[in-house]
Structures are given as structure tokens and as C-alpha cells.
Amino acid sequence: MKNLTYLAGYFVLYVFLDWVSYIHPVLPLAITPWNPPPGLSLALLLLLGLRYWPALFFATLLAELLVRGLPAPFPYALLSSLFLTVCYAGAAALLRGPLNFGSGFRTLRDLFVFLLVASGGAFLAAISYVSIYTYAGIAPEEAYLANLLRFWVGDMIGIMVVTPLILVHAGKGIALSKPGKETLAQGVSVLLALWIIFGLEITDEFKFFYLLFLPLIWIAMRHGIQGATWAVLVSQLGLIGAVMLGSHHTTAVVELQFLMLALAITCLFLGMSVTSRRSVEEKLQAQAAELNHALRLAAAGEMAAALAHELNQPLSALGSYARSCRLMLSMHPADMERINETMDKMGREVGRAGEVVRRLRDFFRDGTLRLESMDVPQLVDEGLEPLIREIESKGMALHVRLQENLPRVQVDRVQIATVLRNLVYNAMEAFANTPDRPCDIHVTAASSGPDWVNLCVEDNGSGVSGEMLDKLFSPFATSKAQGMGLGLSISRALVEAHGGELWAEALVAGGARFCFTLPAEKALQEQQ
């Protein structure tokens, strides 16, 4: 049903185009300087399928009757229509079949193949048509070559204007990017070029034709093949309009069509190469986005695993405490003091579990941080407090050096404390392979310019190789997720969510330094 509508549209449009383009005909052959209907026919067969080839025949015949008034006796019209149909259906079959053209312009090869086949088809069509009419005695023999050439260029320019336009936009609708100022300027520049070429008495059409190249190249560069097809159409219509308004000799018009054909081909190729380069870029971008998504999923998975681990600890303790309380209550006499003490511990574990859940919620609230104004020393204290005993018990030394008068920072205290702890844990793990050395961990904070506070965790442990430095932050590299070790990738994500950066440096003396920046409060307020 839909195809039937298309078919009806084809007939109407065919006759209409033939009628519109019926200017400057070379009588009695009725060869016009531009002939768009074959372009429409090719588009029809390429889009809907070869089985519609009879439509070509009838449309040609119909147009011959209605528009041209049957310049030759009917049998000749019949024969020429048949030949034209065979030529263009053959071209379409060649494109769809062995040449694997598909039905759209996706690569430069598509355009190249199309150009070759179309010009071959148009050439055969020209030979058949002109030969038949010359044989019939309607066309003068001495004008055979000239007629051949006119027919060919008329059909070619018709095809190059119409078919790419339809194929490029078929299925996508007319998806022109919003006509902004640039598009307007481009349209104006095409008209301006046409006016200079044809409107000014002092300029010679042929000498100044090259001016039309400039706006067309501009359009093709900016809008790719889609823009190029429209630019070619507009220029061609403008050219035909100018020719109709002026008093041009038919020969001049045909010569102009050769120039126009060269322009159209140049413009289409330029647009095609812009489009194909852009689609490659888009594909790369899509792949990068996919990878990014996968990385984020991996980071979320790692986060979830780490949080599940942290949640299971207090839950396990709670279970054991509860069971213990029950046992103690069943004893005679019950040790009430010890029971009370255990219940207090249970309360603390519930609080701890709640904190983990809150952190989980914060993390998955998609970037919304619970920001509060914090003093840097307080932040560092809170982050390191749970670790101090462990550091000392392992015989490591923790040196905290904070610059005086640091600006306050706006941070999510749980997240930044997690980052800081994570970095210190990493530093502690770095000593695993260096048992016989003094283990020093330095935590420093300093302002970095007026807008940033720079926090660093430095160790003199086994260090990080340059190669490892690059891989350090990928979630795949840190998949071991030891203990509560949220991977470095997550730490980095958390810092970046605050607007800061996290990076690692290998130290010459051995050991590594991990630093991250936090925006100072003042700078943040200015941003907002």
C-alpha cells in the first residue's frame, strides 16, 4: 500500500519534473539542457526494488505524450521509451546487484560507483534515443554527436542533482540541522554568487562560474553529503532560473550544464568525504562512550562489593552479640553488667551499618554529594583516626604536616575520608615487600594557588613502576579489592565528583605519592 503511494507519487513527480525542466528544448528532438526524471527513476528502483521497472517505461511514455507532445510518431516514442527504460533499469540492477551499492551513500566508494554507472547508463540512453530519432529521420544526421552530448549532459546533471538528494534523505526525513545563521549565510552566498555570475551585465557567465564553487565547498565542508545535495539542487535551480530569465542561446546553456556537472560532482565528493570521516569519528565516540559505561559499571560493581563486605562485618558482629546476650540471660544469675555492655556494643554496630548504607545511598544518588563546609585539619583527622592505631601497631610512622591557614573546603566528609583512608591503606600495603626498612607515611596538605587545596599521601615503600602508574586507576587493574580497599578508580571518581583531580607519582627515592585536589570554598562560591 505504501509502495503504491510511492509509485503514484513517482508518476506525478516524473511528469512534473519533465514539465518543469522542459526549457530550451532542442527541437524537434526535445532534448533539454537538464533532465531530472531519470534521476527520479534511478532513486525509485534503488529504494523500492528492481521489480518496479515497468513504471519507468510508462512514466517515460506518459511524459513524452503530456509534456513533449510526441515529437516522433508513436512507434518511435514507444521504442525510445523502452530503450531508456532498459538503460536505467540496467544501471539500477548493476548497482543493486554485483556492485553492492545498497541504497544509500555511506562511503566514497558508493559515490564513485554511482557516478560511473550513472554516466554509463546515461551514455547508452543517449545513444539509443538519438540513434532512434536520427534513424527515423527526425533528427538531422550532422547533429548526431552534438545531440548525443546534449542528451548525456542533460540526463547526467538531472541524475546527479536528484538521485543523491533522494537517497541521502530517504528514510531519515529531511533532517536538516536547524537552519541557523550559518545556513542562512550559506544560502545568501549561493544567491550572491549566482547574481554575480548571471545578474551583472559586466561579468561573463563562463569566466565567473568558478565563484559558485566557493559557497558549495563551504556547505559541503560544514554539512557533509546532506548539505552538498541541497547545495547542488539550489545552485542548479538558481542556474536554470537565471538562464530562463536571461536570453541565453541553447548552446551556452548546455555548456553551462557541463560546468554545473563538474561543480556537482566536486561538491558531492567533498560532502561525502566529510560525512564518512564524521561517521568514523562518531563510531569511535560511541565506542568510547560504551567503554566509559562499562568502566563505570565495573566501578559501581567494585563499590557494591566493597560495601557489601563492610555491611557484613557489623551484621555478623550483631548476630553474634545477640546470640551471646541470649545465652547470658539464660544463665543464673545473669551477668547484667556484661549484658548491658554487649547491648551497647550492638548499638554501635547498628550505627556502623547505618553509616555504610548511607554511604551506599550517597554513592548511587548519581553525583549528588552531601557537601558541607569543612576545615582541612578536621577532615584529615577524621579520615586518619580509625587508622592511627593500626599504623602504630605495625611499626609504621605517620607524619601529618598541614599548612597553616588553609582555606576551608566544601566536601562530602564520608567520601573524602574514604579516599584519604584508601590512599593511606595503599601506602601501608606498599610496605608489605620491604620489611627491614623504616616505614614512613607522610600526609600533607597545602594550598595550591588561591582556589585549590592539595592533599598528598606519600610512602617510602616498594613504589610503583612507571608502567603500573598508567594502569593503576583502571578498575581492572585493581580488581583484587582487598578488604575495604575501594579501588583507586573509585577514589578518583569520588574526587572528580568534587571537582578535583587524583593522580599518582613515583618517587625517585623509592615509594609513591598519591595526591588529590579539592576546590577551596571561596572558589566554589565564585563558580556558582
Partner 1 sequence: MNTIDSTVFIVDDDEAVRDSLALLLSLNGFTTRTFDSAEYFLAAYQSEWAGCLVLDIRMQGMDGLELQRTLNARNSRLPIIVITAHGDVAMAREALKAGAVDFLEKPIDDQLLIANVSIALDRNVQERSVAARSAEREQKMARLTVREREVMQLVAAGRHAREIAAELNISPRTVEVYKARMMEKLQVRNIPELIRVVLDAENAFR
In the complex, the residues that contact partner 1 under the rule CB under 8 A are 305, 308-310, 312-321, 323-324, 327-328, 342, 345, 348-349, 352, 390, 393-394, 425, 428-429, 432, 482-483
In angstroms, what is the minimal distance from the CB of 510 to partner 1? Answer: 20
Task: State which residue, 126 or 423, has the beta carbon closest to partner 1.
Answer: 423
Output the smallest distance, CB 481 to partner 1, in A. 8
- Which helix (H) or strand (E) covers residue 340, if one does? helix 336-364
Give least dist CB 317 to partner 1, A. Answer: 4
Quote the least distance from Cβ 321 to partner 1, whole Å.
5
Q: Which residues are 459's β-sheet partners?
A: 441, 512
- DSSP-H helix ranges across 21-98: 37-48, 53-66, 74-96
Cell of 499: 571537582
The whole-angstrom separation of Cα 469 and Cα 504 is 7
Instruction: Decide whether 315 or 497 has the Cβ nearer to partner 1.
Output: 315
**Shortest reach from residue 468's CB to partner 1, in Å:** 20
- Based on CB atoms, which residue is closest to partner 1, 39 or 487? 487
Min dist. Cβ of residue 524 to partner 1 (A): 34
Cross-sheet strand order for the sheet of 439-448 = 396-402, 439-448, 452-459, 512-519, 502-506
**Which of 86/315 has CB closer to partner 1?**
315
Q: Which is nearer to partner 1, 155 or 310 (CB)?
A: 310
- What span, in angstroms and rounded, lies between the C-alpha atoms of 294 and 300? 10
Pairing relation of β-strands 396-402 and 372-374? unpaired
Locate 215 and state its grid cell: 559557497
CB of 332 to partner 1, least distance (A): 14
The three cell numbers locating residue 449: 594557588
Taking the complex as a whole, the smallest distance from the CB of residue 297 to partner 1 amounts, in Å, to: 19
For residues 15 and 302, what is the distance between their CA atoms, to the nearest angstrom? 67
Written as one letter, the residue type at 385 is: E
**312 versus 403: smaller Cβ distance to partner 1:** 312
Q: Which is nearer to partner 1, 97 or 319 (CB)?
A: 319
Residue 117 grid cell: 554507472
State in angstroms the smallest separation of the CB of 490 from partner 1. 16
Q: Which is nearer to partner 1, 5 or 433 (CB)?
A: 433
- Residues contacting residue 517 through CB under 8 Å, at least 6 positions apart: 448, 452, 453, 454, 455, 495, 500, 501
Residue 366 Cα distances to 121, 362, 370, 491, 502, angstroms: 59, 8, 12, 15, 20
Toward partner 1, which CB reaches closer, 323 or 399?
Answer: 323
Using CA atoms in the order 216, 217, 218, 219, what is the torsion angle rounded to 10 degrees? Answer: 50
Query: Residue 160 in contact with residue 267, Cβ under 8 Å?
Result: no
